[in-house]
Amino acid sequence: MLDDFMVRAALAGVGIGATSAPLGCFVVWRRMAYFGEATAHAAVLGVALALALSSPVLPAVILASLAMASAVTLLRGHGYAMDTLLGVMAHTALAAGMVAVSLISDARLDLMAFLFGDILAVSRSDLLVIWGGGATVLGLIAWQWSNLLISTLNPDLARAAGVDPRKAEIWLTLALALVVAVAIKVVGVLLIAAMLVIPAAAARPLAKTPEEMAAGAALIGGFSALSGLYAAYILDTPAGPSIVCAASLVFVVTTTVRALKARKTPRI
């Protein structure tokens, strides 16, 4: 069964959709959308690094993403205007990465595959990386769930309850770098941030608790992957962007339903 490329693509898509989405909830709650973007864009630098050293891509990408995430985390709270700074760093990483790749690369490397993903070319070992990485990320998030949640609500409340918000932040950063690294193959560097943010935002109107939102986001992420892939097959469109479009459609539907409901029953 795994011999069929569509089956492998579907498994990869569901794996990424279902793991990036719960993590994406924290990205949304902590208003880190740009942070996710910067981390993802740094992955291109990782690709360049791997090419320069002729080393495997995955560890280099994890390293670059972690470095970017740590740099941003360190700079935060030192009086920089984060909005601008993140914009500068995210796009610099992307541009510098692409320049570096084109300088180093031999003709065989397909830069487009890194930018937009190449889900139809997912191999068995890629699947192993995606599901292994995904399981690690979900495990990390589940283990740190309460600590992350209280630190997200208010760092001082976390302190008073004996939780170190900085530690929780480090785990979150690590999980983010991991997701970025394993998701490159599926949606590409440019659209990873979308798979973090959109399913989480789509799940928001349906949820009453953080747990419901994370579970809903995972379901929506998985569903978007499958339906996007199907649409790409039928319409002959690129797979990664089709998956993101599917997630956006779910977002439009849940948000509209919520707005209509709110109009019928005014909130007290």
Partner 1 sequence: MKSPVITAQDLSVRVDGREILHKVSMAVQPAEIVTIVGPNGSGKSTFLRALIGAVPLASGRVERAPGLRIGYVPQKLALDSALPITVRRFLSLPRRISDDRVTDAMSRAGVPGLESRQMTDLSGGQFQRVLLARAILERPQLLLLDEATQGLDQPGAAAFYQRIEEVRRDLGCAVVMVSHDLHVVMAASDRVLCLNGHICCEGAPEVVADAPEYRALFGTGTKGTLALYRHQHSHRHDADCEHDHSHGAD
Chain residues in the site for partner 1 (CB under 8 A): 28-29, 31, 79, 146-147, 149-150, 152-161, 163, 201, 204, 207-213, 267
24 or 134: CB nearest partner 1: 24
What values do phi and psi take at 109, rounded to 5? -75, 130
Nearer to partner 1, 65 or 144 (CB): 144
Nearer to partner 1 (CB atom), residue 31 or residue 264:
31
d(CA 32, CA 267): 29
CB of 246 to partner 1, least distance (A): 21
Residue of 232, 202, 208, 197 whose CA lies nearest to 220: 202
Query: At closest approach, how far in Å is the CB of 19 from partner 1?
Result: 20
Comparing CB distances to partner 1, the nearer of 105 and 146 is: 146
Nearest residue (CB) to partner 1, 138 versus 163: 163
Name the minimum Å distance from CB 262 to partner 1: 12
Residue 254, C-beta contacts closer than 8 angstroms, at least 6 positions apart? 202, 203, 204, 205, 206
Angle at 172 between CA 39 and CA 111, to 5 degrees: 25
Closest approach of Cβ 182 to partner 1, in Å?
A: 25
Q: Minimal distance in Å, beta carbon 263 to partner 1?
A: 17
With contact defined as beta carbons under 8 Å apart, do 192 and 27 qualify?
no
Shortest reach from residue 39's CB to partner 1, in Å: 19
Look at phi and psi of residue 4 and say left if phi exceeds 0, alpha if psi is from -120 to 50, else beta. beta
What's the chain's length in residues? 268
For partner 1, the closer of residues 155 and 238 by Cβ is 155
Look at residues 184, 188, 151, 153 and name the one whose alpha carbon lies nearest to residue 168. 151
Residue 145 or residue 233: which is nearer to partner 1 going by CB? 145
Question: Which residue in 131, 177, 145 sits closest to 16, CA to CA?
Answer: 131
CA 111, 25, 123: angle at the middle one, nearest 5? 35
Nearer to partner 1, 149 or 244 (CB): 149
Nearest approach in angstroms of CB 112 to partner 1 is 33
Distances (CA, A) of 192 to 34, 37, 185, 264: 12, 8, 10, 36
Least separation in angstroms between CB 37 and partner 1 = 17
